Chain A
Amino acid sequence: MKSHVIMMRKRLTFLATLIPLYVFAPATAQEESTWSQAQIDSIQQAQKAFGEGRTHLSEKILNLPVSLALLPVDLTGMAIANTVGWVSEKEIVPKTVDLLTSDDGTRKLFPIYSPLGGAGFKYTHSQLDWDRARLALTLSTWAHNRQRYRFQLEHFSIGPFDGDYDLRYEFLSQEPFYGIGQDSRKSDRVNYAGENVLTELALGRDHQRGVSTRLFTGFRNINVYNGRGDAFPGILKDADFALLPGAESGVRLVNFGAEIRQDSRDHPGRPEHGGRHLLRAEIFNDAGSKGAQNFNFYRITADITRYWHLFYHRSLSLRLAGEFTRSLDDGDIPFYMLSELGRGETVRGFERGRFRDHDLILGALEYRYPIWDFADLFLFFDGGEVADDVVADFDWQKMVFGYGAGVRVWGANGEFINLMGAFSEDGFRFYLGLNQELQR
């Protein structure tokens, strides 16, 4: 009985095997053929009965609980994809870029962001019918009414020199101040708001081997107020700080200086070899400040960065920098003009302005390696110290250190995005920069 059933089953299976082989003629490549209505009806029925879609549907039903659980992710994905699709379809980005820039490179618009200035745009126009001259306008803003506006006229010719003119207004509404010296405590923070108007003219020349020299002079007017927000006390409310040099409004300074730079980096956007060297000296004189104090000082800056190619686009860089700010004729130095440790460009992991004093030294070691066509990951270790006289007072024990990692995303104009996370004795800090190189 059992074998009979098996035999029947096999036979029926075989018959079922043969049916589809003969019911439909095998598809051919005869595109020119014309179909009779009967053929069309038969094939349409076969198409509907084919059932491939039903298998898909059954799998979907089977997976329904998981699909429901993933619904929020799915909806988010759809929303993101559709938004990107809509932006792309409507050509919003190219239309905006087209509106404000040109393909020949004469007009460009860049989005910018830095922790100091906030978010905004930089616009450049390079066809001014004046040699290589370029006009640049920068606008940025952020919370607590932080604002920065900048007008630059770059690379205009005056005789054999290249000239740069810079006019800047900035209102930095919530700057931290922790006191003077390496021993300042995190808990001593007060806030101040700095309102600066700055104008500067520089004349320089490019020489061989990436060397350039510049002479510059400028004027600045600085007002200091209590910082915005209630999170920290205002600087003028604290009796100790209210007497700080520069804490009163209406500080006016003129400055004169000279600098020499050398840039031997192989790819300035993404260097693996060469270096960047800067030596700068400038003198600041009081130009009729409103308060009783008389500001006279000078500052010398040396900053050296070297890059070494290790292997396959992995590179190592070492930066050593020092800044020395000294009084002239017993003049005063406004506290915000002192050397400062704590910004993303100094020892990372500390709040901006965390340590201030007359002198500063710092070192930064960075290992960089590519993780994508347009992105590098880097690991860094920074160390630095501020002191009244760093040569006489330098103390290894007082040095502060920061370490962490970050990602640099490269665009056509060099570094586009810079994301960093850094640890220090003050905790963890996160940094974001967008087209930061363009803001210097």
Chain B
Amino acid sequence: MNKRPFNRPPFNRPRIALLWLILLFICACSGSGAFVAPRAVPDDRLPVADPDYRAINIPKDLIEKQFFDQLKEAFNLPRQVRRLSGHRREAANLNAFDEPVNSSWYTRRHSSRRMSIEELVNGPNSGEKGPDTNGAWTITKVKNEGVTPGFNVVTESGVGYVIKFEPPGFSELASGAEVIGTKFFHAAGFNVPENYIVFFRPEILRIGEGLTFTDKRGRERLFNAEDLAELMKGVEARPDGRIRVAASKLIPAKKFLGPFSYKSTRKDDPNDFIRHEHRRELRGLRVMAAWLNHYDTKDNNTLDVLTHQDFVKHYLIDFGSTMGSQGNEPMPPQIGYENAFDPHQVFINSVTLGLYVRPWEKHGEVIYPAIGFFSAENFHPQKYKFIFPNPAFEMMTTRDGFWGAKLVMAFRDADIEAIVAEGRYTDPAAAAYLVEVLKKRRDIIGRYWFWRANPLDRPVLTTGDGGQSRLSTTDLAVESGLAETGQRRYRYRINGGAWNESGQPEAVLPGDLLPNAFEQVEVAFSVKDAIGGEWMEPFSVFLGPDPEGWQLIGVRR
């Protein structure tokens, strides 16, 4: 009988290590070769049983995400191998054209089909113009903590709104950011509440019956007229006596379910079958949020609701802390450069003995109080840091980032100007400044991502009179004005054949390339800057047979 030596296990350490490496390699190196369309993403708007309200504890969330999730991520070997091998896990909710499918989270809007200026400025509004200021507003809830007070009110027509006042000395700051942010995020495709800028006279406020609040001494008691007067003392009125506020219409819902998490899934929602950190729209939101200085992208600035159709819909809320506004004051200059507590930055600051001057320390002062602190100086879309690490943002791949950049670059100058006008700033120079900063930051994003990922997109297959098929794409760098056609060189190849250079991002399909019922054709496009550029990784468009010839079946980046 062949006995194994007592001290020699079947798998010794080197062998186990080798086994692990092989497994990790297999895990990392998946995908390439023939085009396989991603599994179709099922609809996620089926009726569900009554989910529970779920609160997210901010301090707990911060500690987990800032410290322990980072540590766990650093020791997540499959992910690290993927990262090192350049095969990071892509988003899971994509169609064959590398776009997220419409869902309870997201609806493709401006970047897929250009919205008109009217649609952009209307945003999520359902045809109203905000709360009616001619009738009385009944206060149903009081928020008296923090610098600026706020109320929940119900108008005479029975519609509920959350009223947020401006911080003293900074009239227009928070309400402008709230409304402008809402329009941008809506046009980008996210679910957002209806937010309005409203001017009202304090005389229309009525105290709801039995309304209680927590006073400054922490006592829960009835809210009375004296309390209202005391609260309104800190609110700045305009010369005509009216007060400017942001009014956020309560989201129509059967039930509010609390915030969603940027990781994992909601266990009591069967429709929630894709982990949130693997959703394209949440990963790509990083680029949008960086553009708009939406630093505070924590779970608590989101909201799940049970719709009247009985499915859970996911909203982004609270844009009062975007661009130059931190809600109750101008955005501090370090926003975007450091997490709220940033151990990495604290370490760098400590060991450099103060000789390293952080870029934001050189920033100037607030120029327009209505805008707050918002600048394009030193803005870097990939280095932008949020309040604390966001699991979905951390998982962002180049494809996600490119997609996020497409959302941002979809906003042309006129779009930005029209949306900023919705901020209703008194000083035209302030509005012009905001437009200018947004344009600059947008272009920085475009220059970063459109030179990092192949910017050819939107393939279109046309058949000419002679029956010759032509496959054209759009160079987003040219379309967005960041590059000129004459300064670009394009090439394509069919099914791995020789490269054909072309002055345009298009390919002519040869006449002998006849559709075959079982074949697919790959047309790979590449682009470079005419002067000093290098050919970029190809953008492949796949064609399949169609009763009338060819049809587009998908793309690969």
Interface residues of A, Cβ cutoff 8 Å to B: 10-11, 13-18, 20-21, 23-24, 26-29, 31-32, 35, 40, 43-44, 46-48, 50-53, 55-56, 58-59, 62-63, 65-66, 70, 73-74, 77-78, 80-82, 84-85, 87-89, 94-95, 98-99, 102-104, 311-314, 367, 369-373, 375, 377, 379
> How far apart are B251's CB and chain A's nearest CB, in angstroms?
13
Task: Report the bound CA distance from A369 to B355 in whole Å.
Answer: 9
Interface members, chain B 412-457 (any A CB < 8 Å): none
Within 8 A of A (CB), among B26-84: 27, 34-47, 55, 57-60, 63-64, 67-68, 71-72, 75-79
Contact residues in A for B39 (Cβ distance below 8 Å):
20, 50-51
Complex partner residue of B41 from A16, A50, A65, CB under 8 angstroms: A50
Whether A62 contacts B24 by the Cβ 8 Å rule is yes
Nearest residue in A to B520 (C-beta to C-beta)? A14
The distance from the CB of B123 to the nearest CB of chain A, in whole angstroms, is 15
Asked if residues B553 and A15 are in contact (CB atoms below 8 Å), the reply is: no
Interchain CB contact under 8 A, A373 and B42: no
Q: Considering the complex of A and B, which 10 residue pairs feature the smallest CB-CB distances, nearest first? A: A369-B354, A85-B60, A77-B68, A98-B218, A11-B518, A46-B42, A103-B216, A20-B40, A371-B349, A85-B57
Q: Give Cα distance in the complex from A373 to B42, angstroms.
A: 46
User: Which of B94-102, B200-208, B396-404 contacts its partner?
Assistant: B94-102
With both beta carbons as reference points, the residue of chain A lying nearest to B273 in the complex is identified as A47
- Could you say which residues of chain A place their CB within 8 Å of the CB of B183? none
Are A311 and B273 CB-contacts (below 8 A) given A17-B35, A17-B553, A27-B41? no
Q: Are B23 and A102 in touch, CB under 8 angstroms?
A: no
B270 touches A47 (CB 8 A): yes
Q: How far is the CA of A70 from the CA of B265 in the complex (A)?
A: 23
- Which residues of chain B are near A82, meaning CB under 8 Å? 60
* Known interface pairs A17-B520, A53-B273, A63-B76; A367-B63 also in contact (CB < 8 Å): no
CB-based contact A372/B362 at 8 Å: no
Chain A residues near B35 (CB, 8 Å)?
17
Report yes or no: B354 in contact with A367, Cβ–Cβ below 8 A: yes
A50–B58 CB distance below 8 A: no
Residue contact A43 to B46, C-beta cutoff 8 Å = yes
Residue B88 at the A interface, CB < 8 A? no
- On chain B, the residues within 8 Å of A65 by CB distance are 20
Find chain A residues with CB under 8 A from B67 CB: 77
Determine the chain B residues whose CB is within 8 A of the CB of A373 once the complex forms: 332, 334
12 interchain pairs, CB-CB under 8 A: A17-B36, A27-B43, A35-B46, A50-B39, A62-B23, A84-B60, A88-B59, A99-B218, A103-B216, A370-B349, A377-B350, A379-B353
**Are the C-beta atoms of B361 and A312 separated by less than 8 Å?**
yes
Q: How far is the CA of A100 from the CA of B457 in the complex (A)?
A: 63
Specify which chain B residues have a CB less than 8 angstroms from the CB of A102 in the assembled complex.
216-217
CB <8 Å contact, A10 and B95: no
Q: Are A73 and B71 in contact (CB under 8 A)?
A: yes
A28–B107 CA distance with the chains assembled, in angstroms: 8
Which residues of B91-138 have CB atoms within 8 Å of chain A's CB atoms?
Answer: 92, 95-96, 101-103, 107
Q: Which of B257-313 contact A (CB under 8 A)?
A: 265, 270-271, 273-275, 278, 307, 309
Contact partners of B519 in chain A: CB under 8 A: 10-11, 14
- Check A27/B101 contact, CB under 8 A, given A20-B37, A32-B309, A370-B354: yes
| A54 smallest CB distance to B (angstroms) | 11
A367 to B520 CA separation, bound complex (whole angstroms): 69
Point out which of A14, A65, A95 has the most chain B C-beta atoms below 10 A from its C-beta.
Answer: A14
Contact between B275 and A52, CB atoms less than 8 A apart = yes
Task: Tell whether B544 is near chain A: CB-to-CB under 8 Å.
Answer: yes
With A17-B553, A77-B67 given, is the CB distance from A103 to B346 under 8 Å?
no
Taking CB atoms, residues of chain B closer than 8 Å to A53 are 265, 273, 275
Q: Is there a chain A Cβ closer than 8 Å to B1's Cβ?
A: no
Query: Are A369 and B75 neighbours in the complex by a CB distance under 8 Å?
Result: no
Kindly identify which residue among B44, B217, B345 contacts A103, using a CB–CB cutoff of 8 Å. B217
Report yes or no: A26 in contact with B101, Cβ–Cβ below 8 A.
Answer: yes
B59 touches A31 (CB 8 A): no
CB atoms of A35 and B216 under 8 A apart? no
B63 and A81 contact, CB distance less than 8 A: yes
Most buried by B among A15, A40, A62, A370: A62
**Cβ contact within 8 Å between A14 and B518:** yes
Q: Give residues of chain B (484-506) contacting chain A, Cβ–Cβ below 8 Å.
A: none
Q: Which of A17, A50, A59, A66 contacts B554 (CB 8 A)?
A: A17
Check B34 against A47 for contact (C-beta < 8 Å): no
Judge whether B357 is part of the interface by a CB distance below 8 angstroms: yes
Q: Please name all residues of chain A whose beta carbon is closer than 8 Å to the beta carbon of B89 when the two chains form the complex.
A: 55
Contact check: which of A28, A47, A372, A375 meets B42 at CB < 8 Å?
A: A47
Residue ID in chain B nearest A310 by CB atoms: B354
